[in-house]
Structure 1
Amino acid sequence: MFVEGEIKSYITARGFGFISIQGEAKDLFFHIHDFPNAHIAPKIGEKLRFSIVEDHGKLKADQIVRLDLKEEIKESNYDVKKNLSNQQASPRFREKRSRISYLFTVIGLLLILVLSVVVYNKYQAYRQTQLLKAQQFMHEQAQIVKQQRQALGNLPDQVLSKEGKAHLENRSNQSVAVKGSPITEKEYSQVSGSAFKCDGRTHCSQMRSYDEAVFFLRNCPGTQMDGDHDGEPCERQF
C-alpha cells in the first residue's frame, strides 16, 4: 500500500532523512539509496509517494516516487521541446537547415557528375579498343592478300568469260580475214577489259591465262606457244 508524505529533514553527509506523514505522529525513516534520481538531492518539503516496509526491525520508506521531481521533469521536458520548436521556427534555424540541404544537393550532383565521367571514359576506352582491333584485323587481311598475290604473281584484274573468248576470237578472225593483220593491242584491250603488254615472255609456262597467251601470240615477236601453227596457243596448258 502506498502512502504520501513530504520530506521533513535530510542529512546530506549521512545520506538519510525523515518523512512526515499526515495523521501520523512519528516520522518515517528513508535512505538516499532508496531514492530515484539520487543525483538530484532531496529537498525539504518535497512530496513523496512510497510504501512502508520493515528493515532490521525498523520501518522505512521504500519504492519512493518523487512527485515534485516528476512534475519538474515533465516541465523540463516541455521546456526543452518548446525551446527546440522555437529554434526550428526561428529564421536562423531555417537558414541553417536550408544550407545543409543545399550542401547535400551539391554533393549529390558532384557524385553523379563524377560517376558519369568515369562511365564515359570507360565507354570511350572500350570503343578505342574495338577500333584498334578492327584496324589490326583489316591490316592482317591486307597482308594476307598481299602475300597471296606475291605467291601467285600479278594476275590480270579481269578474266574473259567463255562468251568473251568466243567474241574475241571472232573479232580476231574477222580482223585477219578483212585487214590481213592481227588484232591490235588497243582493240584487244577494249574487248577483254585487260591491258596486256609485250614484256619479253615467249613460252606458255610464263602465261597467266589463255587470253594473255592469245595476245602474246598475235602481237608479240619471238613467241613459241603454237607448235602446230593452228592459231591456238598453249593448247596443253589451257
Structure 2
Amino acid sequence: MMDWSVLPAMRLEAGCAVMFSGGRDSTIAAARLSQAGTTTFLITISSGHLVGIQRVRQRIREMNAILPPSTRWLHVKQPMALKTDTSFYEKTCLPCHHSYVVASSVLAARLKIPNLAFGYASYQSSWPEQSPIAITRLSSILARHGIKLVLPAYDLISREEAEKTLQKLGLSSESLEQKCLQQVSNVSLSDDILRQQVDLWGSAIDASISKLSEIEVEVLEDTMIENV
C-alpha cells in the first residue's frame, strides 16, 4: 500500500475532513475513520450540474447508526474562482476535483485540521483523478502545504467488495450520491495525455492552495448529522 493511504485502524488525532459524496467509497472512508476513533467532518459539494442532494441526506441519516450523532456535516457550493488558469482541462472529472480539493482545503484550514480524506478506491483507478499518478501528485502537493492526504478506502478492489462492506456496516449498498449531468462516463486518456493533464492539474491545485486565503467557499448548511 502506498504511503498516501492509511490503514483503517490508524487513528488521526487531529481529526479528518472527509470529502463526502454519499457514494459507496466515501461512505466507507468516513466509516473506517470513525471506527478507528478519528473525529470526522463530512464535506459535501453541490453545484448546478450535480442533482439529488436528497440522496446524500438519506445516506447521512443512515450513518447516524455508525457515526457519532454530533458528527458535523458541511454542505457547500462548488467554488469556481480558483485563482489560477483552468482552461487547459480535457473533458474529465479533473477540473471538478480541482475545486473539490480547494474547497475542502479551505474548510480544513478553517477547522484547523491537517488531514484530508477522499473516497478514492483502487477499482476506480482508471478514472484520471483516482489514478496512481494523480494521487501521488496530489499527495505531494498537499504535503507541501501541510496537509496529509488520506485514502481509507483505496484497498477496495471491486464494486462488489464495496457493496459487501456497506452491507456489513448495516448501510444501503446503493451509491447515494448526487448525479452529475456533465460527466456520465469515464473518459479514457492516452498515457501521454494523462501525464500531461495530471501535471497541469497538480500545478493548478498548487497555485490555488497557495492563495487559499483569497478563495471564498459558500457554506450552504453546517449542522450535526443527527439534525439532517
What TM-score do the two structures reach when normalised by structure 1?
0.16
Q: Which structure: larger Rg? A: 1
Q: Say which structure, 1 or 2, has more relative contact order (CA 8 Å, 6+ apart).
A: 2
